[in-house]
């Protein structure tokens, strides 16, 4: 009886599974609306974006004195390419909005003090996601140059437009999401879900997984590109542990002071 009474009197009682699913659906719809609105902007600026994506291919053709070009094989391929580029731009431009929706989905299960991390989460996640996109943009021309360099002398390389867009989206989104993960680490530690000693204890596994993921996600077979992705991720991993440890110490001191007062 007492448990039922406290549950009714507590407005912050745990949400039911149905309520969680409803909240997840709503946040997903809000995020999709944001992506759709920003995709309209991507549709408008399609030409300069596609020219920027095509520039490394043109440079590779000139430097190698070979025929390297984007091929639109199907009747509707050009339209499909424009839609995919618009969606890609929409995801990138709306990243502050859908990152906020991700946080807003998690926030109801947090305590009032933990909800204050919202500004810090967004202030860290958005620049890191942008940094991941920027690094991918730096790697993209190198990837095009290296991969097209395997074309035999006298041969031609007709790059399928669908393949090129899938390749580009995977590269950019992989870098962006990978750079946001350290913020999730800090959030889990500050919320008391994972202790920093757990992150430190598994650092060897983490470094190995980072290098394996970098080898899988980077499109080129060279070691330099893999290190370009894995190096910053390893640094961010240990940096996140340091930041998480600071917050953990502060929380432990407050908890110890509360116990002493009690």
User: Where is pLDDT greater, at 114 or 174?
Assistant: 174
pLDDT at 222 exceeding the cut of 70: no
CB 122 within 8 A of CB 96: yes
CB 155 within 8 A of CB 64: no
pLDDT for residue 86 = 92
Question: Left (φ > 0), alpha (ψ -120 to 50) or beta: where does 155 sit?
Answer: beta
pTM summary value: 0.69
pLDDT for residue 258 = 67
pLDDT for residue 199 = 85
Angle at 129 between CA 124 and CA 134, to 5 degrees: 125
Enumerate residues 6+ apart whose C-beta is below 8 A from 37.
90, 94
Q: What are phi and psi of 155, to 5 degrees?
A: -90, 170
Of the candidate ranges 113-122, 129-138, 237-246, the one whose mean pLDDT is the lowest: 113-122
pLDDT, mean of residues 15-24 = 75
Cβ count within 10 A of residue 63: 12
Element (H, E) at 79: helix 77-93
Length of the chain: 262
pLDDT for residue 43 = 93
CB 181 within 8 A of CB 102: no
pLDDT, mean of residues 22-48 = 90
pLDDT at 92 exceeding the cut of 80: yes
The pLDDT tens digits for 141-173 are 877 887 777 777 767 778 788 788 878 888 888
Q: Which of 125, 106, 96 is nearest to 186 (CA)?
A: 125
Of the candidate ranges 8-22, 95-109, 201-215, the one whose mean pLDDT is the lowest: 8-22
Structure tokens belonging to residue 232? 């910053």
pLDDT, mean of residues 197-219 = 82
pLDDT, mean of residues 113-129 = 73
């Amino acid at each position: 009886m007492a448990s039922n009474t406290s549950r009714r009197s507590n407005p912050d009682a745990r949400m039911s599974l149905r309520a969680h699913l409803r909240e997840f659906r709503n946040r997903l719809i809000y995020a999709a609306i944001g992506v759709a609105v920003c995709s309209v902007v991507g549709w408008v600026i399609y030409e300069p974006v596609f020219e920027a994506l095509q520039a490394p291919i043109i440079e590779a053709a000139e430097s190698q004195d070979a025929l390297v070009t984007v091929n639109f094989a199907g009747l509707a391929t050009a339209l499909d390419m424009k839609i995919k580029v618009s969606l890609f731009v929409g995801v990138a431009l709306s990243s502050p909005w859908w990152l906020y929706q991700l946080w807003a989905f998690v926030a109801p299960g947090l305590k009032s003090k933990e909800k204050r991390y919202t500004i810090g989460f967004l202030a860290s996640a958005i620049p890191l996601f942008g940094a991941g996109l920027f690094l991918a943009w730096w790697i993209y021309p190198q990837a095009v140059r290296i991969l097209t360099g395997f074309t035999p002398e006298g041969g031609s390389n007709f790059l399928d437009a669908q393949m090129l867009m899938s390749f580009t989206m995977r590269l950019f989104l992989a870098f962006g999401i990978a750079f946001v993960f350290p913020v999730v680490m800090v959030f889990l530690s500050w919320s008391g879900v994972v202790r920093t000693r757990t992150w430190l204890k598994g650092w060897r596994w983490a470094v190995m997984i980072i290098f394996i993921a970098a080898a899988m996600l980077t499109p080129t077979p060279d070691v330099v590109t893999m290190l370009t992705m894995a190096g910053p991720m390893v640094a961010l991993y240990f940096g996140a542990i340091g930041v998480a440890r600071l917050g953990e110490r502060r929380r432990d001191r407050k908890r110890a002071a509360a116990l002493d007062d009690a």
